[in-house]
Amino acid sequence: MPEIKLRKRIITVEEIFHEGGPVSPAPLRRAAVLAVIHNPFAGKYIAEIGGFMDDLKPLGMEMAKSLLHALGGDPKIIEGYGKGTIVGQNGELEHGALWHVPGGYAMREILGGAKAIVPSTKKVGGPGTRLDVPVTHINASYVRSHFDSMEVGLADAPRANEVVLALVMTTGPRIHARVGGLKASEIKGEDGLR
Amino acid sequence: MTSKIRKIVTFLEETHTEMGRSVNPPTRRAAAAAVIENPFAGKYVEDLTELAEIGQVLGSLLTERALATLGIPGPSVESYGKAAAVGENGELEHAAAILHPKLGAPVRKLLGKGAALIPSSKKRGGPGVSLDIPLGHKDAAFVRSHFDGMEIRVNDAPRANEILVAIALTDSGRPLPRVGGLTKDQIQGQDGLR
């Protein structure tokens, strides 16, 4: 069981008041937490990597909690979420996939059993690579007003032997959402889709 | 003023290890950035007083946000810096008008002190342009362990008629300082230099 070697942690909070339209009384907030960790599998092909998902669980939980804290601490105000990874150049895309379970389940757990799949993206890249983390509604993936994304990244990571792990939460729809589709008020909340 | 702010973004960076060595306690930097409308975009205006007034408001607002992000009282701040990026329809002098005449006083008021010059940088650029905010010790500019910089960016700003304004604060210097020079325990704190 490789230990988690954390080099950096980043928390970014965006408050969006308007985007050229009416100023919202309650700004949309989006927040991201990033952890830069050593990639224990960098530089070689290792067949069995799945055990690292369990190793990542405490970090995932800690990141989800700090993200919620950055948004005020009340799970009831969180409406959207997403996750992603950037793998340094000595790693492979599959290493990024190790984040699906520990990252996703941590957020769903602290949000009280959110129903929708946590949308995700991943890539291999060098220091400064940016990642557009997709965001959808936490209980119904088809809620159109909550299709969103947040760009994340940092200047000095991932180095070749590192992985950047990302979680994102948001507090509402796009600031001037008006293209129809399923509304948050119409969620049935049974299948995580509608 | 507040209706002209489109977005506020905060950034927190913690460095836990550097070159495999533990950094304990982690070094921490925070930045707060506002995306505002540029009242003078697209034309030459001689008197830039309005931007200086905006700078005064932002000096207070962004310092408060950065302090809250670090979770420390003002006097515990060790280094600071400021920067602005002007959208393509503005001029560099607009950034200067925000940063230099009136922004510093409210920053220093909230920090309790701040004898040193607040180091700054400015540029013109498009959405997603990076800002390298220079950092220096707030009471003695020559403290070598605190010569540093923090990169931030906001992917959708500055738009052509906007200005991105940022203030960075830290509770520490570089992670593993070892290039000599004046140290923070040698600060006299009289002239802002040593």
Has residue A1 got a pLDDT over 60? no
Domain holding A30, by residue range, is 6-186
**ipTM of this complex > 0.90?**
no
At CA A35, angle to CA A33 and CA A39, rounded to 5?
A: 150
What's the CATH code, domain B2-186? 3.30.1330.110
Residues of A in contact with B12 (CB under 8 A): 9-12, 70
Residues of B in contact with A149 (CB under 8 A): none
pLDDT number for residue A29: 97
Instruction: Answer whether residue A194 is part of any domain.
Output: no
- Model confidence, pTM: 0.90
d(CA B182, CA B125): 36
- The number of distinct structural domains making up chain A is 1
CATH code, A83: 3.30.1330.110
Mean pLDDT over residues B8-17, rounded? 98
Cα B85 to Cα A149, B2, B162, distances in angstroms: 23, 19, 9
Burial A5-38 (b: 16+ CB within 10 A, else e): bbbbbbbbbbbbbbeeeeeeeebbbbbbbbbbbb
> Each residue of A59-91: pLDDT tens digit?
999 999 999 999 999 999 999 999 999 999 999
A189 to chain B, closest Cα gap in Å: 32
> Each residue of A144-183: pLDDT tens digit?
999 999 999 999 999 999 999 999 999 999 999 998 899 9
If one counts every other C-beta atom within 10 angstroms of the C-beta of residue A47, the result is 5
A17 touches chain B (CB under 8 A): yes
Instruction: Answer whether residue A123 is part of any domain.
Output: yes
Instruction: Quickly state the pLDDT bin for B189 (edges 50, 70, 90).
Output: confident
Nearest CB neighbour to B16, from listed A6, A17, A18 = A6
pLDDT number for residue B174: 95
Count how many residues are written for chain A.
194
Alpha carbon dihedral A54, A56, A57, A61, in 10-degree steps, equals 180
Nearest CB neighbour to B17, from listed A7, A11, A70 = A7
Pairing of strands A148-152, A120-124: unpaired
Instruction: Answer whether residue A1 is part of any domain.
Output: no
Nearest to A89 by CA among A123, A124, A37: A124
Minimum CA–CA partner of B149 in chain A: A155
> Each residue of A13-60: pLDDT tens digit?
999 999 989 998 899 999 999 999 999 999 999 999 999 999 999 999
Has residue B86 got a pLDDT over 80? yes
Mean pLDDT over residues B10-24, rounded? 96
Which of A:144-163 have CB within 8 Å of B?
151, 154-155
Domain spans, chain B: 2-186
